[in-house]
Structure 1
Amino acid sequence: MANPVWTGTLSFGLVSMGARLYSARERHGPTTHQFVKGTSDRVRYKRVNESTGEPVSQDDIVKGAQYGSDRDSYVVLEPEELERIQPVRSKTLEVEGFVETASIDPLWYASTYYVGPDKGAAKPYRLLCRALTESGRAGLGRMVMRGREHLVLITPQQGVLTASTLYWPDEIREPEDVMRPPSGEVEDKDLELAEQLIEAMAADWEPDQYTDEYERRLEELIEAKAKGSTISYEPEEPEEQGKVVALDDALRRSLQERRGKKGGRKTGGARRAPAPRRSQEQASAEKSAPEQRNAPTKKELMARAKELGVEGRSKMSRDELAAAVDSAG
């Protein structure tokens, strides 16, 4: 069971309940470190005094902030001073209003947490979750977490509540701040073709069909290096360059190609990765085990498991998927 990142009170109107926030996301995959080239010596970083170069203890470090136009002008902020300016709602997530969920653009979302009820709060928790689901609205409020005040959106997800921190208005850039928006009009014939192409490429959101290809390759490389070998992949063929195609012609050809595809499989899954180019040692080992070389990939097994309606497939390992598919099939 994960540890909560925040514990306090969630309130809307005169209704309040104890609540806990849990991180809804986590990163997976190998962790790489820095080494001195040609050795196994790790590279470490130390806190040092910029002027003297001497190490500094964590107990001797305080926060400071730059002010004015002079880059060397700072004020030191003592821990007691920072604590005194904490807002009153440091342990309260108070909903100030309910907004249409669809009115909040994804651009505003920062981080998302699962909201869990504290002891004795199950009834109001279920009530709020059901009411938000039925109304299509989300609770908008504010809270303090990790020393900062956050704008928070409370929404129902998969039968539970989530709290998504939002960026403040002054943190959102306008497109004109970073780029020059394109000008000109869209021709009706091109728009019609683009809409047809979008419809032809329509797909369902099926996250278990997507995998982190780089992470998979990195894990294979680490495993191969640990065995004294290496691994690489055949380069993917680059797209044809230098040939200028009119927009309407490109749209028509794309639409014809999409309609001409056979098998009825919708676009949406990740492209099949090119086969890895093995080292000589690995190639010899694979020749002695052709059944392993021709075994279906986890992604292929996942697709087959979906067709067969295998439950819990997204949490299964490759071997578990193979067994489940074999049993269901």
Structure 2
Amino acid sequence: MARPVWSGVLSFGLVSVPVGLYTATDSHAIHFHQLQRGTSDRIRNRRVNERTGEEVDLEDIVKGYDTGEEYVLVEPGELEEIAPGRSRALEIRGFVDLDEVDPIFFDKTYYLGPRGKEYGDVYRLLEQALERSNRAGVATFVMRQREYLVAVKAEKGLLTCHTLHWADEIREPRKEIPGLPGKAKASAKELRMAEQLIEALSMDWDPADFHDTYQEKVAALIKAKQAGESVEKAQEPPKSTNVVDLMDALRASVERARGPKDTGGKAAPRGARRSTVGKKPPAGKRARSAAGTRASLQDLSKAELYKKATAAHITGRSSMTRDDLINALTAA
């Protein structure tokens, strides 16, 4: 059973619940040791006094801030003493609509769990309220001598804590990336063809369908070298598409993407959608169906509407209001 990487009190208003913070993800990367070439001798990193060349024990090391003229020495305990809330309080300052938080701000995900069965009711109350309102609690707390801005969300029956980047950590892309295209629009013909390609390659999101092929190749390389065998090198990346050949490349891509779905009478793969162009129901049925759909959608929360919009592949749903979602789902 996992141990919490941090424990403290989660509070919103005058309600509080002791919680533990658990790492939500794990790395499957293959790790190597450093060796001196031609030997089996390990290379170690050591803490060495650069003036004397002698190794220094960890307990004899303090932090020093360089002012340009001298070092200001700070003990680890002094940093802990000035930490807001002494690193044990995760106080929600307010709740924001999840759709308003740009994905670029999200960093790392943790699970939040109650520190005792007696706190389950309070924990469940907050989880269900966040789920129904499609909101996240914004808070700050200190962990390992660093302050974090976090969003507390409800996900699949539990609370999660997502560390966020601070506003001044987000770089301005126009300043960082040279050669970004201007406001010139693509031609209508190219845009239609690109949209057809996106539609032809549409799929259901299932993360289990993807796996880390590079780590598999690293493992295969180690096994092959151990057996004295050679391995096949990776293919060269595709060449950049010339602007002159853009339409030809788009057209060929659409034909290739559609090919397996239209040959041999085979069933379309999971996630592929049948075209409904030109197949409209009678006007009376269409009107009655839309009215019934709208009535059933009115009883749903925004979070439930958003899930339906995601399943229906409605674009722009993240910026829609509740009424916008109902209108879009009714039209779909």
Task: Tell me which residue corresponds to 2:313.
Answer: none
Distance 1:148 1:243, change over 3 A: closer
Distance 1:267 1:54, change over 3 A: farther
State whether residues 201 and 267 of structure 1, in contact with CA within 8 Å, keep that contact through their aligned partners in structure 2.
no
Q: How does 1:122-201 map to 2 (within 5 A)?
A: 122-180=120-178, 181-186=180-185, 187-201=187-201
In the alignment, does 2:247 pair up with 1:248? yes
Q: CA deviation at 1:234?
A: 5.2
In the alignment, does 2:16 pair up with 1:16? yes
Distance 1:73 1:174, change over 3 A: farther
Task: Tell me which residue corresponds to 1:58.
Answer: 58
Q: CA deviation at 1:244?
A: 5.9
Distance 1:22 1:98, change over 3 A: same
Q: TM-score with structure 2 length normalisation?
A: 0.73
Task: Tell me which residue corresponds to 1:258.
Answer: 257
DSSP-derived class of the 2:52 partner: coil
Task: Tell me which residue corresponds to 1:118.
Answer: 115
Distance 1:238 1:56, change over 3 A: closer
Distance 1:142 1:242, change over 3 A: closer
Q: CA deviation at 1:151?
A: 0.6
Q: How does 1:287-302 map to 2 (within 5 A)?
A: none
Distance 1:51 1:244, change over 3 A: same
State whether residues 29 and 219 of structure 1, in contact with CA within 8 Å, keep that contact through their aligned partners in structure 2.
no
Instruction: Tell me the alpha carbon deviations over residues 187-218 of structure 1, each in whole angstroms, 9 at most, x when there is no partner.
Output: 33322222222111111111111111121122
Identity between Structure 1 and Structure 2 (%): 46
* Residue-pair matches, total: 264
Q: CA deviation at 1:33?
A: 0.8
Distance 1:247 1:224, change over 3 A: closer
Please identify, of 180-189 and 145-154, the stretch whose mean Cα deviation from structure 2 is larger. Answer: 180-189
Task: Tell me which residue corresponds to 2:43.
Answer: 43
DSSP-derived class of the 2:231 partner: strand
Distance 1:265 1:92, change over 3 A: same
Matched residues in 1 for 2:45 and 2:225: separation? 27
Matched residues in 1 for 2:99 and 2:55: separation? 51
State whether residues 220 and 231 of structure 1, in contact with CA within 8 Å, keep that contact through their aligned partners in structure 2.
no
Q: TM-score with structure 1 length normalisation?
A: 0.74
State whether residues 129 and 159 of structure 1, in contact with CA within 8 Å, keep that contact through their aligned partners in structure 2.
yes
Distance 1:177 1:63, change over 3 A: farther
Matched residues in 2 for 1:91 and 1:41: separation? 44
Instruction: Tell me the alpha carbon deviations over residues 282-314 of structure 1, each in whole angstroms, 9 at most, x when there is no partner.
Output: xxxxxxxxxxxxxxxxxxxxxxxxxxxxxxxxx
From 73, 80, 88, the counterpart of 1:91 = 88
Instruction: Tell me the alpha carbon deviations over residues 4-56 of structure 1, each in whole angstroms, 9 at most, x when there is no partner.
Output: 00111111111111100000011114321111111111111111111221111
DSSP-derived class of the 1:246 partner: helix
Q: How does 1:200-279 map to 2 (within 5 A)?
A: 200-226=200-226, 228-233=227-232, 235-236=234-235, 239=238, 245-262=244-261, 264-265=268-269
AA in 1 matched with 2:78: E
Distance 1:108 1:240, change over 3 A: closer
DSSP-derived class of the 2:47 partner: coil
State whether residues 33 and 42 of structure 2, in contact with CA within 8 Å, keep that contact through their aligned partners in structure 1.
yes
State whether residues 17 and 114 of structure 2, in contact with CA within 8 Å, keep that contact through their aligned partners in structure 1.
yes
Distance 1:77 1:231, change over 3 A: same
Please identify, of 245-254 and 52-61, the stretch whose mean Cα deviation from structure 2 is larger. Answer: 245-254
AA in 1 matched with 2:4: P
Matched residues in 2 for 1:80 and 1:14: separation? 30
Matched residues in 1 for 2:252 and 2:98: separation? 38
Matched residues in 1 for 2:47 and 2:134: separation? 50
Matched residues in 2 for 1:242 and 1:96: separation? 49
Instruction: Tell me the alpha carbon deviations over residues 241-296 of structure 1, each in whole angstroms, 9 at most, x when there is no partner.
Output: 7866433332222222222234533689xxxxxxxxxxxxxxxxxxxxxxxxxxxx
Instruction: Tell me the alpha carbon deviations over residues 119-146 of structure 1, each in whole angstroms, 9 at most, x when there is no partner.
Output: 1111111111111111111111111111
Task: Tell me which residue corresponds to 2:327.
Answer: none
Distance 1:233 1:208, change over 3 A: same
State whether residues 65 and 74 of structure 1, in contact with CA within 8 Å, keep that contact through their aligned partners in structure 2.
yes
Matched residues in 1 for 2:91 and 2:242: separation? 58
Q: Structure 2 unaligned segments of length 5 or more: list them.
A: 273-332
Alpha-carbon RMSD: 2.3
